[in-house]
Amino acid sequence: MAMNLDNCPQCGKLYVKNSYNACPACLRAVEDQYQACVQFLRRNRTSSIYELSEATGVSVRQITKFIREGRITNREAPNVQTPCEVCNGPVKDGHICDTCRMKLSRDVNHLKEDVKRRDEERQKLGNTFQIKDRGDDKKRL
């Protein structure tokens, strides 16, 4: 029976692979950070992510990870907002802010319109054969 060993991405120590991809010591450290955040938020529910980070010593990145994992929710911390993955603006829910979400939605709609327009142009052409199509056929052979 082979043991799957790996180096911990956080501390570099050798450990038996697990679903958390970290050694037991680092897992305990992350859990301690989480508990520190929860304890602080129970006393200071209206604090921001930066106040939480400063008070607990837990990085904003790790707090963001707790939020994205669903371990810290808006009910527990209504003012804790994560940075948008596109523009770094504040995000209350999800990964991107409303402005970036609307822009992305607009871009997707424009892309759909372009594809539809191209399909309509192809249908207008019907079964005509263009010179550039003939070259593509030769490449396939």
pLDDT per residue over 52-110, tens digit each? 999 999 999 899 889 888 888 878 788 888 888 899 888 877 788 999 999 999 999 99
Task: Kindly indicate the confidence band of residue 140, based on its pLDDT and cuts at 50, 70 and 90.
Answer: low
Instruction: Please give the share of the chain, as a percent, with pLDDT higher than 90.
Output: 41
Instruction: Give pLDDT, residue 137.
Output: 55
Task: Kindly indicate the confidence band of residue 11, based on its pLDDT and cuts at 50, 70 and 90.
Answer: very high
19 vs 63: CA distance, rounded Å: 20
Give the other-Cβ count within 10 Å of 81's Cβ.
Answer: 19
13 neighbors 41 (Cβ within 8 angstroms): no
Buried b (16+ CB within 10 A) or exposed e, 100-128: beeeeeeeeeeeeeeeeeeeeeeeeeeee
Instruction: Give pLDDT, residue 19.
Output: 85
- Helix ranges (H only) for 15-97 are 24-43, 49-56, 60-68
Total-model pTM: 0.64
Amino acid 102 reads M
φ, ψ (nearest 5 deg) of residue 69: -80, -10
Tell me what the pLDDT averaged over the chain comes to: 85
Instruction: Give pLDDT, residue 31.
Output: 95
